[in-house]
Structure 1
């Protein structure tokens, strides 16, 4: 089981008893825009997902971890590596924190830092990328804080409530690796 510990939070593998939390997050229409979700998920589908969530990242091509406070077990957010490409040593990264009291507590910063370090130093990734709505100033600030750079704008990329929105492509290159070091 993967557990990554920070100062105030830790990241852990998803467990079967995360069903209700994942169900609530996946079906929260207020975050569908950032997760590119189109339709609700059933508990049955999420239960099946959780049963297979323990697959190795090399097999599943993704890794989803629960974000938890201190030594508390219940999750307050999720952080993902997706589109994992071991041939080219890259992956997408996304994060969502449960609303309310969990926001603006440095949880996202600490979780992102932990997953960046894990990605670069344990998975030996050369780069990470994030797709961020151009109006999402909080996410842009979070990712740029860790050195992600906007390398392009995808114009009219996502249709949200009848309006096309631009999406930025943010990239972080691991400066401590090059292809010759990884072979």
Structure 2
């Protein structure tokens, strides 16, 4: 597994993940994004957390058959606050690559980037209380459950609690 910057050839992966309506309730997106807008985003993002207030990496895995690595997801640090040295974590893995430990390895790699390159003091994640697998994974790699955010997310017309989880890097 490795992380790399977005490239023009990642347009279809980005389009698929950003337009996956099953993920929208976890963020702020409320409408599909066009390929044009995503192509423009890829072309203009500088992959500099201090300029963009976010950084997005493509998660790649080796195929094992001598072929080029395969892009299997995205991992973001966003809502970056330079003043407070913190950022929020977001991860999306394609369905075919889920359950293989890829997200955990990608989070460890982005934590190292955040600590060693970006000088970030803490990363936090907002996790739906029903997502026990994500909670367990984050706990296993050094995150701590801080509080329950009551009725934080709405999904299928029902409110759901979320967990605020933090990891201090320095």
- Does the alignment reach a TM-score above 0.5? yes
Residue 94 of structure 1 pairs with residue 90 of structure 2: yes
Encode CA deviations 1:89-116: one digit per residue, 9 max, x unaligned: 111111111002x111111111011001
Query: What number of residue pairs does the alignment pair up?
Result: 166
SS in structure 1 opposite 2:79? strand
Q: Where in structure 2 are the equivalents of 1:1-183 lying within 5 Å?
A: 9-70=1-62, 72-100=68-96, 102-174=97-169, 177=170
Distance (Å, rounded) in 1 between the aligned partners of 2:28 and 2:130? 15
Does the CA contact (< 8 Å) of 2:62 and 2:70 recur in 1? no
Q: Over residues 18-52 of structure 1, what are the superposed CA-to-partner deviations in whole Å (9 max), with x where a residue is unaligned?
A: 11110011111122222342211111111111112
Structure 1: 5+ residue runs without aligned partners? 1-8, 178-183
Q: Report the equivalent of 1:6.
A: none
TM-score in terms of structure 2 length: 0.92
Check whether the contact 1:82–1:92 (CA below 8 A) recurs between aligned residues: yes
- Aligned residues: CA RMSD: 1.4
TM-score by length of 1: 0.86
